[in-house]
Amino acid sequence: MSTTDALQESYQRYLNQLFDAKLLIPSGVKGVYGRSGTFENVIDQFEQYVTRQTRDMKPEVVRFPPVFNRQHYAQTDHIYNFPDLMGSVHSFMGREPEHAELLHKFQCCGDWAHDLDATEVMLAPAACYPLYPSATGTLPEGGRLVDLKSFVFRHEPSDDPARMQSFRMREFVRLGTPEQALAHRDFWLENAQRILKSIGLDVQPVVANDPFFGRGGRQMKATQRDQHLKFELVIPICSEEKPTAITSCNYHLDHFGSVFKINSADGAVAHTACMGFGLERICLALFKHHGLNISQWPESVRKLLDLS
């Protein structure tokens, strides 16, 4: 059996275990699942644990819906770098004659969706994307620290239960001077390890890169790695050889600051950094490492996550 086949089999086996244990609910689409109350409660409790751990930092809490402004999307370089992952929202904007045409195509099993019109929104590819355009202007003295969470979309259908198309990301974002942004990234690289290790997830930090598209993307990946802009915390879920990133810590330099005209209090272009917990992946890692039955998880983990 090839390595790819073995990996594929391992994905299917774990996915079926999750379905059998009624933790995830199949939808007929790869990477799109319902979540049971048990699964959701682990995510809720992990989130509350993180909230308790960050209370002293007094972050501003902001929550965005899963859709965001198409014009803001167009200002980022997502369409250049990750076109294959995008989610563009389309709808029917015609009147009755066009509706009749749409239904005709639909009934004849044609590509009925092709003639829909692009709406004003895209699906957010990361929880922090909608924040930057809302921060245009001058930051307060000391910059901003923002606590975000949202459903994000990445079109990458996969059998890997940890590679969902629609999942939640809890992020802490720093907007300020280069020093503040870099310190945030470095603090969270340590702090997220401490949090995850405390609940029995023995993560390893690795230098990482985003999945830039195409041949041109190779150079981007190399540059990102050389500059040590992105770190991930990884842990095996379905494979020891290919561990899964459950947290990502990124320093964006002045990228979002210049695109969305965000300045720090001293007038310079703001730098930004974000740390994101992949909530479904963390939940899947917990079930993988502690077992599918929460009542048998280590007492210390159950206590920290208030699961007793």
Window 60-99: residues binding its own copies (CB under 8 A): 60-72, 74, 79-80, 83-93, 95-96, 99
CB of 202 to its own copies, least distance (A): 28
Report the residue number, 166 or 248, with the smaller CB distance to its own copies.
166
Site stretch for its own copies (CB under 8 A), options 9-17, 127-135, 173-181, 251-259? 127-135
Residue selected from 3, 9, 110, 118 as contacting its own copies according to rule CB under 8 A: 118
Report the residue number, 95 or 194, with the smaller CB distance to its own copies.
95
Strands ordered across the beta sheet of 144-153: 144-153, 166-176, 271-278, 244-251, 230-235, 204-207
Single-letter amino acid code for the residue at 256: F
* Tokens coding 117: 């019109």
Report the residue number, 26 or 291, with the smaller CB distance to its own copies.
26
32 makes contact with its own copies (CB under 8 A):
yes
Site string for its own copies, 131-150 (x = CB under 8 A): x-xx------------x---
Report the residue number, 116 or 182, with the smaller CB distance to its own copies.
116
239-278 binders of its own copies (CB under 8 A): none
Q: How far apart are CA 35 and CA 97, in angstroms?
A: 40
Q: How far apart are CA 122 and CA 74, in angstroms?
A: 10
Among residues 217, 273, 276, the alpha carbon closest in space to that of 245 is found at 276
Site stretch for its own copies (CB under 8 A), options 157-165, 170-178, 223-231, 248-256? 157-165
193-222 binders of its own copies (CB under 8 A): 213-215
224 makes contact with its own copies (CB under 8 A):
no
Residue selected from 18, 23, 42, 121 as contacting its own copies according to rule CB under 8 A: 121
| β-strand partners of 138 | 263
Distances (CA, A) of 109 to 102, 103, 112, 113, 307: 11, 10, 7, 11, 48
Residue selected from 167, 231, 251, 260 as contacting its own copies according to rule CB under 8 A: 167
* Tokens coding 29: 């689409």
CB of 29 to its own copies, least distance (A): 5
Q: Which residue has the tokens 């909530």?
A: 279
- For residues 156-186, one letter each, b for 16 or more C-beta atoms within 10 angstroms of the residue's C-beta and e for the rest, the string is eeebbbbbbbbbbbbbbbbbbbbebbbebbe
Q: How far apart are CA 26 and CA 38, in angstroms?
A: 16
Report the residue number, 59 or 236, with the smaller CB distance to its own copies.
59
CB of 204 to its own copies, least distance (A): 29
Residue selected from 106, 142, 179, 268 as contacting its own copies according to rule CB under 8 A: 106
